[in-house]
Structures are given as structure tokens and as C-alpha cells.
Chain A
């Protein structure tokens, strides 16, 4: 099993550009999550999903969108990138409590 995979590993965006961060899991987990991690701030939940077709906002959803068309995939869309979105983004999946994290995507918006 590959676990949770994320692409790309690194990306530099210009202000106003858009991009999609990809996340996939092969563990057949129902729950999937997107977090952002900023220095000294821990992990903040952006969006989560309890199954295909069902998503909900987390603590910091502004500026992001998600979709979940399959159990395996949970892409995160950034529209009109802003410098405040410079962060490391982690995707996670979970059968219930324990969450399994991907390796992260480091995004810089200049």
C-alpha cells in the first residue's frame, strides 16, 4: 500500500494564480482531511470529507475548495492565490480516529 500520496511536493505560485493540490489514498478510508501547517501554529483543518460526495468546512476554509468524487481522491483547489496561503499542506485519511498523513506539499505564493 502506498498510503496517502500528495502531489506536487513543492510549488511556487504568483498572486492570483490557481492550482489544485492532489491527494489520494489506497486504504479505503471513508474520512479524508486537508490541513495547513504554519510555523508555530500547529495544524489547522481546512476541509474534510466523510465519504464520496460529502464535504464540509473546517476551521480555515476561506480561499479553498474541495471535491470528493471517489473514495480514493480528495483534491484541494486554491483560487486566486494570496501570500497568506503560503504554507505546508497536508492531506490525511482515517478509518475513524487515527489519521494517516501524506508527505505534504510546500506552497509559496509570491
Chain B
């Protein structure tokens, strides 16, 4: 069964601190690893994504670190802000050319950034 395991389930970080969320996968056919951000009452929205040909991708305060040999990837939020308080989902996809993209989601991490 394809699974993506995410931890921690919840996280409290002080303003200005670093938030780190981890995910691990089993299926070596996965080749696309996005992170989605979800605010209460809203649908998830793509935050940042990486493919396994690079070990790190940075967009502003958000960085994905990817370890192919360990089958793990993580989201780092630098200088965390109260506006970052949301639920974060990692996901993985192994669609090949001509097949449908189907994301397998982690169970989510509820991040709270305190003042």
C-alpha cells in the first residue's frame, strides 16, 4: 500500500523560530513531492514542490529538503510568522507519462505560531 507518513501531528513554534515538518514514503516510484497549506474552512493550496533530482528547493521562507536514499523529505519554515498558522500536508505522486497524477497525502501537521 502506498503511504506517506507525516510527523509531528501538531507543532507550536514561537514567532521568528524555525518550523520543521517531516515526511517519509515507501514507494520508490514517487517522483513529485508537494507540500500543501490549508487554512481553516479553506481548501488546500500548493505551497512548494520538489522532484528527486535535487536535494533542496527554496522559495522565500519555505524550503524543502529531500533525501532520496532515506526516502524522506521535510518542510522548513524559516522566521515563522503567526500568519503561517495552518495545517500542512505533504504528498507524493508517481504518475508516469500518459497516466493520471494521483497524490498520496500525509495525515497533516497543525502548526501554531505564537507571538
Contacts and interface: CB of A to CB of B under 8 A. Distances in A.
A43 B105 contact: yes
A22 B15 CA distance: 40
A102 B100 contact: no
Interface residues of B, number: 22
A53 interface: no
A97 B105 CA distance: 13
A90 interface: yes
B102 interface: yes
A48 B44 contact: no
Contact of B43 (A41, A94, A98, A103): A103
A31 B44 contact: no
Contacts of B105: 42-44
Contacts of B41: 103-104
Contacts, number: 55
Interface string B85-110: 00001000101000011110111100
A41 B9 CA distance: 10
A83 B100 CA distance: 31
Interface in A71-103: 90, 92, 94, 96-103
Given A43-B89, A90-B44, A104-B43, A99 B108 contact: no
Contact of A97 (B32, B42, B44, B107): B32
Contacts of B108: 40, 42
A100 B103 CA distance: 12
A1 to B, nearest CB: 15
B43 A102 contact: yes
Contacts of A99: 46, 101, 103
Interface of A: 4, 31, 33, 40-45, 48, 50, 56, 58, 90, 92, 94, 96-104
